[in-house]
Amino acid sequence: MVDSRASAFARLFEAVHEGVYIGTVGPDTSSTIAANPHLKLIFGYAGESPERDVRPFDRDRFVDPQARVALLERLTSDGSVNDYLLRLRRADGNPVWVELTARADAPGADDSVRIEALVRDVSERKKLDDETRDIYHQLLQAEKMAALGQTVSGVAHELNNPLATILSWAERLSGRTGLDDPVRRGLETILSESERAARIVRNLLTFARKRQTTRAMVDVNQVVRETLALRAYEQRITNITVIDALAAGLPQVFADGHQVQQVLLNLMINAEQAMLAANGRGTLVVRTWQGPDQESVVVEVNDDGPGIPEDLQPKIFDPFFTTKEVGKGTGLGLTVAYAIVQEHGGRIRIESRLKGGTSFYVEMPVSGGKLTPLPLMRERLGDAPEAVADASILVVEDEAKLASAVVDALQDVGYVVQHALDGEEALKKVKAESFDLVICDLKMPRMDGPSFYRMLADARPACRSA
């Protein structure tokens, strides 16, 4: 009876699909009494390896040495652990996630404990858990961006109107002759600072709303080369070495080339500033390749700068978050980049180690077709036309001060200008007389710009929009 029982346990020990370990674990070393075949499989040992050589709990088998100390403390104080998660190393040095369920005898004179343990490989489950957590964080980020977008859009619109008024008056006044030098310098300061504020508002609006984009089949490598060319002079004079490793034969992606370039420019400028601030020089590496699933084209922008602390990395895409000095960043660059990549159905992520540099990865989805790339350069506007004698313009704007500034500026150059407070008043004026040009705001009380345009198009089919 005893022999049959022992034989049954021996067969179970050999056949069970759980790692079984019996041995002692001490502060400095461990020794193995028994290790079953599945334990050898988990940790990458050959099946014929002697059991005494299978020592998964040696100090060098732990990815984090402190995890071994914590495990020994738990076994010593509690006498057992259940489903205890550990990251250990296999025989080839590669990490493996395991769950440990074990009981321990009282520690001996050398503080070592004898344990009997079941070990389960949970690497795949841990990978799925991490992927699920990443997806959850991406969803949270997307929801946060959507909520912030609605708020920011309203704030940006409210800022835009007074800024436009200030810019209009500053431009008109600075163009006058006979101004004293102090007055001219003051006007130039007002103009430059207003333009800076207007750029921030434009960035806010880019982040806050989905813009109408011009998309075509784009060669990502070409966009990278053009972006590097834009930065070439600045990189040369600031001791930034550039290495590009662009994979040949990449499929084209359906994207707005200008927006992709905006993303890459932002990442490159951030990398340059980080390297210069930390080291006074640096190496920028830009790589491209096709994703392993053949579904995406990946662009990596890598720097050898100071890196970004792990606790700050979840915040870097948040609006107004910046690690730069005051006055050197608005905290909107990466937010805008994130919004553009998301709008294209792509992903953007970061890998960074403190004092070990930073890599940003931009993944753009691949289109099934291989069409000839369309020209991506927008048509440039010509010089402002000279005022046509007696040409009439209707300005539709509910902000009185902005409307006044626009009307005065147009009248200064010879146009005949009328003003309407909203779409309803504008429609009455259009039906009463003809205008050569109508300039209309988008957001207005009673009747907004798009509604006014549709009714104007019905009333005057010959009119053209710009």
In the chain, what are the domain boundaries? Answer: 2-121, 131-208, 216-365, 392-459
- Of 70 and 442, more confident: 70
Is residue 258 over pLDDT 50? yes
CB 358 within 8 A of CB 308: yes
Q: Which fold has domain 2-121?
A: Beta-Lactamase (3.30.450)
Which of 17-21, 87-91, 262-266, 366-370 has the weakest average pLDDT? 366-370
What's 324's DSSP letter? Answer: S
The first and second tokens of residue 262, run together, are 């905006």
Kindly state the tokens that stand for 108.
């001996």
Instruction: For residue 217, list its beta bridge partners.
Output: 254
64-87 mean pLDDT: 92
For residue 302, is pLDDT > 50? yes
| pLDDT tens digits for range 384-442 | 455 565 789 999 988 888 888 888 888 888 889 999 988 888 888 888 888 888 998 87
Contacts of 7 (CB under 8 A, 6+ apart): none
Mean pLDDT of 237-242: 90
Q: Averaged over 76-94, what is the pLDDT?
A: 92
Structural element, H or E, at residue 127: helix 123-174
List of residues 6+ apart from 108 with CB closer than 8 A: 24, 114
Decide if pLDDT at 213 tops 80. no
- The label of the residue with tokens 């988008």 reads 442
Which pLDDT does position 326 carry in this prediction? 42
Domain over 131-208 is classified CATH 3.40.50.300: no
Contacts of 367 (CB under 8 A, 6+ apart): 217, 251, 252, 253, 254
Average pLDDT on 191-195 reads 82
Nearest-angstrom CA–CA distance, 399 and 385: 26
SS3 381: coil
Place of tokens 């004092």: 355
* CATH class of the region 392-459: alpha beta
Looking at residue 370, its pLDDT comes to: 33
The model's confidence at residue 378, banded by pLDDT at 50, 70 and 90, is: very low
Mean pLDDT of the chain: 82
Residue 379: pLDDT above 70?
Answer: no
Q: Which pTM does this prediction carry? A: 0.39
Strand, helix or coil for residue 138: helix
Q: What is the mean pLDDT of residues 11-31?
A: 88
Q: Which residue has the tokens 């691949």?
A: 366
Tens digits of per-residue pLDDT, 152-169?
Answer: 667 776 777 788 888 888
What is the pLDDT at residue 376? 29
What SS3 class is residue 115? strand
**Does CATH number 3.30.565.10 belong to domain 216-365?**
yes
- The mean per-residue pLDDT over the stretch 331-348 comes to 82
* Rg, Å, the chain Cα set: 33
Q: Which band of pLDDT confidence, cut at 50, 70 and 90, is reported for residue 362?
A: very high
Q: How confident is the model at residue 177 (pLDDT cuts 50, 70, 90)?
A: confident
